[in-house]
Copies of this chain bind each other. A is one copy, B any other.
Amino acid sequence: MKLYDSRVAPNARRVRMFLAEKGVSVPTVAVDLAKMEQKDEGFTALNPLQRIPVLVLDDGTAISESIAICRYFEETHPQPPLFGRDPMSRTLIEMWQRRVEFGLMTPIQLAFRHTHPAMREMETPQIPQLAEVNRPRALAFLQFLDAELAHRRFVAGDDFSVADITGYISVDFMKFARIALPDDLAHVRRWRDEVAARPSASA
C-alpha cells in the first residue's frame, strides 16, 4: 500500500491527519506539485484527473478523492469512528463534513488558487474577482460555525470527526489565502486551539 502525498496540499493533509487519528501508518510517495509531477504519465495513470492524494492498494487499485481514501480506512480500521458511530451521527457528520468543505474549505481554496503566484500555472485562468467574492463567504461561514460551536465541543457533535479535520485544516490554510481569523470568533478559536493540540494536527 502506498499513499501519493504532498506536504503543501490541504486535501493530502486531510488524509494524513485522518490516518494519525486512526493510528495507521502508510508509506508515502511525495508528489512535487511545484514541478507539476501530478501531470506525469505515471501519476496520470493512477488518477487521470491529476490530483493528489491517491492511495494505491497492494492489488493495484488506485483510490483518489481524500474523503474516499478516509472512508476506506474507516472501513478497514473502524476504531475510533470518524464518520459516526450510529445512523444519526453518520448522517450529521456527512452533513457537517460537506457544509465545512463547501462553505469554508472551497472558498478559502478559491481565494488562494485565484490569487497566489505559485498557482499561476495550475489554476488557469486565475480570476482575482473569484478570490474577492470568496473571502467574505469564508468569513460568513465562520460566523455561522461560531454560533454552532457555542453549543457543542466539535463541529458535528460531542465526538471528534472527519468534519473537524476538514474544518481545522481549512482554518489553518486561511493564511495562504490572506484571510485572518477574526478575534471575536471565540468559539471557533476555542475549537481551533483544541484541535491544534491533538498529535494528529502535525501529521
Contact = CB atoms under 8 A, between A and B. Distances in A.
A171 to B, nearest CB: 18
Interface size class of A (residues with CB under 8 A): 20 to 34
B63 A75 contact: no
Interface string A27-70: 00000000000000000000011000000000001011101110
A72 interface: yes
A94 B76 contact: no
Contacts of A88: 61
A65 B125 contact: no
A100 B61 CA distance: 19
A75 B98 contact: no
Interface string A74-92: 0110000000000110111
A176 interface: no
A103 interface: yes
Contact of A75 (B91, B103, B133): B91
Nearest to A61: B88
A129 interface: yes
B76 A87 contact: yes
Copies in the complex: 2
A63 B127 contact: no
Identify which of A72, A91, A130 gathers the most chain B CB atoms within 10 Å of its CB. Answer: A91
A52 to B, nearest CB: 14
Interface in A74-131: 75-76, 87-88, 90-92, 94-95, 98-99, 103, 125, 127, 129-130
Contacts of A76: 87
A75 to B, nearest CB: 4
Interface in A114-161: 125, 127, 129-130, 133, 144
Interface of A: 48-49, 61, 63-65, 67-69, 71-72, 75-76, 87-88, 90-92, 94-95, 98-99, 103, 125, 127, 129-130, 133, 144
